[in-house]
Amino acid sequence: MSAFHMAFRVDEIESTRRFYGDLLQCRQGRESVRWIDFDFFGNQISAHLGPRPERVLETMVDDTSVPLNHFGAVIGWPDWERLHQRLKVAGVPFILEPQVRFVGMPGEQATFFVSDPSGNALEFKAYRQEDAVYQR
């Protein structure tokens, strides 16, 4: 098995369980009163109770401001479209509206950013050609 593990802070456990478990459909793992684990697209994420940072850092990508600290998943194009629709129907606000970047180029990708209930930014991507993920 080869997967990454990432721990991140959240405001509270129940809203985290609903967002990652119910909405994103991530399988829940172990939990305690202070943390909860999920299978995040084949990787382990651990949400731990903790204080919010004072400010959110941003960076520019192609003249678009995006949260510097974010995580997410690269998924297939049809899965990306289904996830986009599920989040839209659920009323989840988009930090960066769904869009296709680098049209006609080797790295053509669909992307959007959302926040979880604790303000953590997530990016979901899909590549037109799946083998182009690391292409230069």
What are the two backbone dihedrals, phi and then psi, of residue 57, each rounded to the nearest 5 degrees?
-80, 145
Distance CA 113, CA 111 (A): 7
What pLDDT does residue 109 have? 94
What pLDDT does residue 29 have? 98
Section 96-108 average pLDDT: 91
Give the tens place of pLDDT for each residue, 57-96: 888 887 888 888 999 999 999 999 999 999 999 999 999 9
The whole-angstrom distance between residue 127's C-alpha and the CA centroid of its chain comes to 15
What pLDDT does residue 17 have? 98
What pLDDT does residue 131 have? 83
The CATH homologous superfamily for domain 58-132 is: 2,3-Dihydroxybiphenyl 1,2-Dioxygenase, domain 1 (3.10.180.10)
What pLDDT does residue 54 have? 83
Give the tens place of pLDDT for each residue, 106-136: 889 999 999 999 999 999 999 998 887 887 7
Position 90: which residue type?
A
pTM: 0.91
Distance CA 44, CA 4 (A): 6
DSSP 11-60: S-HHHHIIIIIIIS-PEEEEE-SSEEEEEETTEEEEEEE-PPPS---EEE
- What CATH number belongs to 5-49? 3.30.720.120
Give the tens place of pLDDT for each residue, 31-43: 999 999 999 999 9
Domain boundaries, the chain: 5-49, 58-132
CA trace torsion 98, 50, 17, 96 (10° rounding): 0
Domains 5-49 and 58-132 share a fold: no
What pLDDT does residue 49 have? 98
Q: First vs last Cα of the chain: how many Å apart?
A: 27
What pLDDT does residue 10 have? 98
Distance CA 86, CA 92 (A): 9
What pLDDT does residue 57 have? 83
What pLDDT does residue 60 have? 86
Distance CA 123, CA 27 (A): 19
Q: Which helix (H) or strand (E) holds 78?
A: helix 77-89
67 compared with 45, residue with greater pLDDT: 45
